[in-house]
Structure 1
Amino acid sequence: MVACLPGLAAVVALLLCAVGVGGTGSHSARPAARPAVQREGGPHSAPRPPIVPRSRWIDDGAHIQPPPRYDGRVSAVFVHHTDSPNGYACADAPRIIRYLYAGQIGARQWDDIGYNFLVDRCGTIYEGRAGGVDRPVTGAHTQGFNHGTVGVAAIGTFTAGTPVPRAMTDAIAALAAWKLGLSDTDPRARVRLVSSNDLARFKSGVAAMLPAIAGHNAGFMTSCPGAALTARLPEIRERAARLQGR
């Protein structure tokens, strides 16, 4: 379990899947104007699932948080795994998230955790990056494709043959259905995303047609979110579409 690892080792383990995230973690980037809250009620909206606020896992005063940055709308969700041990007690998820946060703002010198949301194996959804769960916060999760997207990290390692908890995939589907519903995006569709970084799978400026719910590996050369979780993405898309009433 992560809780049993020495502090530095835990940080290193939880950073492994952070390779390939974009550069929006810089302190120097200017925040966009704070947009209005995106409201539910469109033709294919889905209810907002329960989300644990970041105040439940972050240490008060641990880091001076710069203002968040925003995009106009969310048109895609990128799914990740944290590449950390799976046998944790769900009550330990806040501590695991703190390790990940500490590594990203420490060793990587980002301004915040890169993922917009994290989901534990019991299906609990945690707010990650600051800025408001109901706003289109610019993340730092998928190199070249951080704008107009949401990064959701499954806490654990989901390589081939690893069981993926149903509660976890149901929670990811519910979260994706809600966020994509705010822009009336079909979770089963492919959407046009323009790369902003040459280190991505697509060169900067190239428009790619990617799944509205995609694995990290769709936008960057990586095995994340693992073969087992990648295999569950079609099921997640279908469930999210049903939650939108499609």
Structure 2
Amino acid sequence: MWPHRIWLGVAVLPLVLLVPRDAPVRQVLAERPPGSSRERAGTVPQPVIVSRAAWHANESIVRERAVYTGAVRAVFIHHTGESNDYDCVDAPDLVRAVEQSHIEGNGWDDIGYNFLVDRCGTIYEGRAGGVTRSVRGAHTTGFNADSVGIAVLGDYRNGEKVPAAVVRALAEVAAWKLRPGVDPEGKVRLVSTNDESRYPKGKAAVLNVISGHRDTYETTCPGQALYDALPAIRAAAAALREGRGTGEGRPDTEDAGSTHHPLN
């Protein structure tokens, strides 16, 4: 039954529109009061990530190698748009379907997102090279430079509950990837590099450090339920940066209720 679900997901994926070739641009953080505890906060350890080799990425179809960019100053949250009723043990199949759709279907260099998260909270490496360095993705038209795109496998447009495991995973990636001194609950000033975004090329936008795709592009992504969870994701990421764990600031969510067996 999985091929049917996978290809259904591929059919819905174009809802999440991406542009892969934005040029790097200098992005400036909004100023905060000197000595802020959030400015003093450092990064957190890397969370457990399923590598491309482990989810069996098809490296033979990748068109170009990674393009490196500056330290991460913003995080953009997405959803991929397929059904939420998958078993988490089959999530790697969905990740491979995203890869095939982005490269062979849309003609992009590689999978657009830097990371993906399944409904059980497992984190997958997306675009190659982005674990140890900052790689420019193809996730947020006009704002791909110096940012990270994280996509949740599934559809959160119709009131679906966001699993607590998803909130935790998104917060962990954000807290880990954002450069030292960035407040996950703060603002960032970014300059658009593409007229197809909500902001014309060259126009500055003041956004949340952790934003949704819809904040910069005409789309429903990441779905209203996931978009409503962004304050909790920001709070959890800030808590991690300050060494307080992820116990604070979670939304009223439900666990996925499925046992997950991460790949080694």
TM range (shorter): 0.7 to 0.9
Q: Determine if contact 2:41/2:180 at 8 Å carries over to the other structure.
A: no
Q: Report deviation, 1:9.
A: 4.2
- Alignment RMSD: 2.0
Tell me the amino acid that sits aligned with residue 12 of structure 1.
A
Say whether residues 1:235 and 2:239 are aligned partners.
no
Counterpart of 1:46 (choices 34, 44, 61) is: 44
Residues 132 and 161 (structure 1 numbering): CA distance in 2 closer, same or farther, change over 3 Å?
Answer: closer
Q: Report deviation, 1:13.
A: 2.3
Q: Report deviation, 1:86.
A: 0.2
Counterpart of 2:206 (choices 202, 205, 209) is: 209
Q: Report deviation, 1:24.
A: 2.0
**1:2-32: CA deviations, max 9, x gaps?**
x241775442223322x2x12329xxx99xx
**Structural mapping, 1:56-95, within 5 Å:** 56-60=54-58, 62-95=60-93
Tell me the amino acid that sits aligned with residue 207 of structure 1.
A
Structure 2: state its 5+ residue gaps: 25-39, 244-264
Q: Determine if contact 1:74/1:183 at 8 Å carries over to the other structure.
A: no
Structure 1: state its 5+ residue gaps: 31-41
Q: Determine if contact 2:19/2:141 at 8 Å carries over to the other structure.
A: yes
Residues 170 and 59 (structure 1 numbering): CA distance in 2 closer, same or farther, change over 3 Å?
Answer: closer
Q: Determine if contact 1:74/1:148 at 8 Å carries over to the other structure.
A: yes
Partner of 1:14: 13
Distance 1:123 1:164 in 2: 11
Q: Report deviation, 1:131.
A: 1.4
Task: Tell me how many residue pairs correspond in the alignment.
Answer: 228
Tell me the amino acid that sits aligned with residue 173 of structure 1.
A
Partner of 1:145: 143
Distance 2:87 2:166 in 1: 14
Q: Determine if contact 1:93/1:120 at 8 Å carries over to the other structure.
A: yes
How high is the sequence identity, in percent, across the aligned residues?
Answer: 46
TM-score, length-scaled by structure 2: 0.81
Residues 51 and 7 (structure 1 numbering): CA distance in 2 closer, same or farther, change over 3 Å?
Answer: closer
Distance 2:74 2:152 in 1: 16
